[in-house]
């Protein structure tokens, strides 16, 4: 290499090591909750920043004199409301350190709802919108499809038992519209979320809440209309945004992606701590996805479910590790199998009995079975927008005799045993069989609410008032005593450190500690014996999994949150 080229490369390297930095953040690909568990997932999520890395990177950058500004592209792939609230808090702390922050979007929705990405953008000092874009600030709508009319035309009846009236997961098959309790709970959810968005937008944009609500009712907006209304600051393209950022950060500032920035500093910190691998720390366990028995799903075909064997083993490992002084259980789950949820609950109790404080950090959703595995923790931390609660249970089956008759299909069977045909879909339950189903649901509901009462130190009557299958936002759950505090993963870690008597610098370490070889291993003989869909149903519903499949019930089990709760 010629000497001049070498000198030029050396100068460039020195500049990269010492020049002021502009942190660049691209949120359009979404956020990953936990490290990938297999090579395929690693490839599929390689462009997504992990939430914990993003939060830690912004925390480091807020006190790093080299970092002068933050610029983020928002919009694109949806990010959950609670996750957005965690990012907003981290951006706010960076902003409070006196460093300018810029958000820009090509569009907030493009003829679709853009409430949540715009809510994220309001955490920044300056909001840019491309002149051809629009702002889909339209309010919150929760829609369900109901198939009762279709099933009637097909000649399919559907028998459902539930505990209690708010447990509405099967209503899409049994009703033509929201039932009264389901509408009540859903309306409250929408109101709570819209209140959170309205208050935040009003505070950050310097508007009165009543004015923000008026603007929401007027939306959506074209770019210039949004600027005139004070909802965005400037209209501009990417090059214009970056020109303004460079002007404020200084002409010698260089761009560095937030992920690369955090990785470099994390590697340096890890290298410094190598001699002290046994230092006291907080164990971080990700409990993500629908809950099933067995091992956690390891790839896209498995649906990304959490397995009770995997999560329980991680809790046991953390409880027995002398270096792990506390546990943060990060729950992001709509629920699933009752038995699997109870297995995980037991390991949370055992970890606490072993002297390890357990703090639950709720993500976007921690409902039904997701709340079941959380309720025994020492403390539960949720975001205001976390979907939680849904303390209830349901089961049922379709009756296909009319459908089969219309198609000319007849059935015959030989049965020994009074209830051997109980789960057949060719006939309804008898009164005696209904009594057995209801006994089963009563048992699960009593167990669920009893453990909530114990874990949350409430009377059973009070728990029943809050339960009955009802879904709450984190803000309402706090007001009702179902969670302890509003906050995110970092706040949960701080609470865990405090309860364990650890300094604020004590690190988080992920459990289970999988090696690259572990990630390549198959799920085991039992999992390989069933196709992914059948395996999931079998592990969630046990011996009645074929019935659940035919019934069209949620494949993950009787403790499942109804419908989709993604806000846009």
Write out the DSSP string of 276-303. GTTS-EEEEEEEESSEESSSPP-SGGGT
Please, are residues 135 and 118 in contact by the beta-carbon 8 Å criterion? Answer: yes
- Average pLDDT (465-494) is 96
In this structure, are 245 and 286 located in the same domain?
A: no
Q: Are residues 486 and 349 in the same domain?
A: yes
- If asked whether residues 341 and 459 sit together in one domain, one would say yes
More confident residue, 13 or 457: 457
* Overall number of domains in the chain: 2
For 127-141, what is the mean pLDDT? 94
Residue 328 lies in a domain: yes
- CA 284 to CA 314: how far, in whole Å? 9
Residue-level pLDDT at 352: 97
Domain shared by 224 and 348, yes or no: no
Phi, psi of 488 (to 5 degrees): -115, -160
Give the rounded percent of residues in the chain with a pLDDT score beyond 70.
82
Shared-domain flag, residues 228 and 376: no
Identify the pLDDT of residue 466.
96
User: Tell me: the pLDDT tens digits for 500-523?
Assistant: 999 999 999 999 875 544 444 444
pLDDT classification of 48: cutoffs 50, 70, 90: confident
Over range 19-35, report the average pLDDT: 89
Specify if 482 maps to a domain. yes
- Is residue 82 domain-shared with residue 133, that is, in the same domain? yes
- Collect all residues with Cβ–Cβ distance below 8 Å to 232 and sequence separation of at least 6: 127, 128, 129, 135, 223, 226
pLDDT over 80 (residue 44): no
Domain hosting 241: range is: 11-138+219-263
**Residue 555, CA distances (Å) to 68, 231, 246, 269, 558 in order:** 49, 42, 51, 43, 9
Residue 445 belongs to some domain of the structure: no
pLDDT at 458 exceeding the cut of 50: yes
In whole angstroms, give the CA distance from residue 559 to residue 343: 14
Average pLDDT over residues 362-381: 96
Start-to-end CA span in the chain (Å): 54
Q: Based on the domain organization, do 224 and 339 belong to the same domain?
A: no
Q: Give the burial class of 325: count Cβ atoms within 10 A of its Cβ; 0-12 exposed, 13-18 middle, 19 or more buried.
A: buried
Q: What is the percentage of the chain residues whose pLDDT exceeds 90?
A: 57
**CA–CA dist 16, 10 (Å, integer):** 10
Question: Measured between alpha carbons, how far is residue 2 from residues 5, 6, 15, 537 in Å?
Answer: 5, 6, 20, 65
At residue 414, the pLDDT reads 87
| Within-domain flag for 253 | yes
- The answer to whether position 484 is within a domain reads yes
* Confidence (pLDDT) at 190: 92
Scanning 19-145, the segments in alpha helix (DSSP H) are: 39-44, 51-62, 81-96, 115-121
Say if 434 falls within a structural domain: no
Task: Give the per-residue pLDDT at 457.
Answer: 96
Write down the mean pLDDT value for the chain.
85
| pLDDT of res. 162 | 80
| Ranges 289-293, 421-425, 488-492, most confident | 488-492
Based on the domain organization, do 369 and 230 belong to the same domain?
no
Residue range 428-451: mean pLDDT, rounded? 90
> Is there a single domain that holds both residue 258 and residue 301?
no
Claim to verify: residue 355 and residue 387 sit in the same structural domain: yes
Q: What is the mean pLDDT of residues 281-293?
A: 94
Residue where a domain stops, chosen among 229, 263, 297: 263
The span from the CA of 226 to the CA of 129, in Å, is: 9
* pTM listed for this prediction: 0.85
Contact 375, 329 (CB under 8 A): no
> Residue holding tokens 């291993």?
521
Q: How far apart are CA 501 and CA 513, in angstroms?
A: 24
Confidence of residue 258 (pLDDT cuts 50, 70, 90): confident
pLDDT mean over 281-287: 97
Q: Say whether both 254 and 284 belong to one domain.
A: no
Residue 422 forms part of a structural domain: no
What's 112's domain CATH number? 3.90.226.10
One domain, residues 225 and 301: no
Alpha-carbon distance of 113 to 417, in angstroms, equals 55
What pLDDT does residue 363 have?
A: 96
With respect to residue 512, please indicate whether it lies within any of the assigned structural domains: yes
């Amino acid at each position: 290499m010629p000497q001049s080229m070498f000198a030029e490369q050396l100068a460039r390297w020195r500049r990269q090591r010492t020049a002021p930095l502009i942190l660049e953040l691209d949120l359009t690909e979404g956020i990953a909750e936990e490290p990938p568990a297999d090579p395929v997932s690693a490839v599929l999520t390689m462009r997504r920043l992990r939430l914990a890395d993003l939060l830690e990177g912004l925390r480091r950058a807020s006190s790093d004199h080299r970092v002068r500004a933050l610029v983020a592209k928002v919009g694109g792939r949806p990010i959950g409301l609670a996750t957005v609230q965690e990012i907003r808090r981290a951006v706010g702390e960076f902003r409070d350190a006196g460093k300018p922050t810029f958000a820009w979007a090509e569009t907030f929705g493009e003829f679709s709802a853009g409430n949540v990405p715009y809510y994220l953008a309001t955490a920044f000092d300056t909001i840019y919108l491309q002149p051809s874009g629009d702002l889909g600030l339209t309010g919150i709508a929760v829609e369900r499809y109901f198939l009762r009319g279709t099933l009637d035309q097909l000649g399919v009846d559907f028998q459902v038992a539930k505990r209690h009236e708010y447990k509405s997961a099967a209503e899409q098959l049994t009703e033509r519209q929201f039932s009264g309790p389901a509408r009540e709970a859903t309306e409250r959810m929408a109101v709570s979320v819209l209140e959170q968005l309205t208050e935040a937008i009003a505070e950050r944009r310097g508007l009165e809440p009543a004015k923000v609500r008026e603007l929401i009712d007027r939306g959506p907006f074209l770019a210039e209309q949004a600027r005139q209304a004070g909802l965005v600051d400037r209209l501009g393209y990417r090059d214009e945004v970056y020109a303004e950022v460079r002007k404020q950060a200084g002409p010698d500032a260089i761009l560095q992606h937030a992920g690369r920035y955090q990785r470099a500093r994390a590697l340096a910190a890890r290298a410094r701590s190598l001699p002290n691998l046994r230092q006291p720390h907080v164990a971080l366990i990700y409990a993500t996805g629908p809950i099933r028995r067995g091992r956690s799903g390891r790839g896209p075909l498995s649906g990304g479910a959490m397995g009770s064997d995997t999560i329980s083993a991680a809790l046991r490992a953390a409880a027995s590790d002398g270096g792990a002084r506390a546990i943060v259980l990060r729950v992001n789950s709509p629920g699933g199998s009752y038995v699997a949820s109870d297995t995980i609950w037991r390991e949370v109790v055992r970890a606490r009995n072993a002297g390890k404080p357990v703090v639950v950090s709720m993500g976007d959703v921690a409902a039904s079975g997701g709340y079941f595995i959380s309720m025994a923790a020492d403390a539960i931390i949720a975001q205001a927008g976390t979907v939680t609660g849904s303390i209830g249970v349901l089961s049922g089956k379709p009756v296909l005799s009319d459908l089969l008759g219309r198609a000319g299909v007849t059935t015959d069977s030989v049965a020994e045993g009074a209830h051997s045909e109980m789960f057949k879909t060719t006939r309804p339950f008898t009164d005696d069989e209904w009594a057995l189903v209801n006994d089963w649901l009563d048992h699960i509901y009593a167990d669920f609410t009893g453990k909530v009462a114990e874990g949350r130190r409430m009377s059973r009557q009070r728990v029943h008032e809050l339960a009955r299958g009802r879904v709450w936002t984190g803000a309402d759950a706090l007001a009702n005593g179902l969670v302890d505090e509003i906050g995110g993963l970092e706040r949960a870690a701080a609470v865990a450190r405090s309860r364990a008597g650890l300094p604020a610098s004590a690190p988080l370490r992920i459990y289970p500690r999988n090696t690259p070889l572990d990630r390549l291993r198959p799920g085991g003989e039992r999992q390989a014996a069933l196709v992914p869909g059948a395996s999931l149903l079998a592990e969630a519903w046990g011996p009645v999994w074929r019935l659940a499949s035919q019934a069209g019930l949620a494949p993950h089990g009787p403790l499942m949150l109804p419908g989709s709760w993604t806000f846009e």
